Amino acid sequence: MYKKFMQIALNEAKNIKYDVPVAAVVVYQNNVLSVCSNRKEKDIDLTAHAEILAIKDAQKKLNTYILNNCDIYVTLEPCPMCMWAILSARFKNLYFSSYDTNYGAAGSRINLAQIKNSKINIKGGILEECGDKLLNDFFKELR
């Protein structure tokens, strides 16, 4: 089931034109609740990461800041800012595609879940080749 939702995130990331191609999908009761992509460059807002935008949208739709009955799917392992927001929202599961050995805060570089003493389930590497290709193509074109 998680590959289906990750594919939705990857498809969203493919449509990004000016930002790093990262997208996030929030799922509630096996239904897509929110789909957002990076808008940092577009909005000139360093907090406009896909995860932050998806979390805000889901919280608004459910009228709560606690998302403990939700899962989040991200095309790139969350950075510390996003990971802390994911943990604070109390997501049940975090699924991501590509690992980020530079800034990943779900186990690659650091694991903020250990610091926050969270019960979140984390699974990385879902459709990893697709996520890696998307990022590699973006950065090749940028250079």
Q: What are phi and psi of 66, to 5 degrees?
A: -95, 120
d(CA 32, CA 27): 5
From the candidates 51, 77, 128, 129, give the one annotated as an active-site residue: 51
What one-character DSSP code corresponds to residue 66?
-
Q: Give how far Cα 124 sits from Cα of 9, 65, 78, Å.
A: 14, 24, 10
**Of 47, 60, 97, 92, which is closest to residue 77 (Cα–Cα)?**
97
12 is catalytic: no
Contacts of 64 (CB under 8 A, 6+ apart): none
Q: Provide the annotated active-site residues.
A: 51
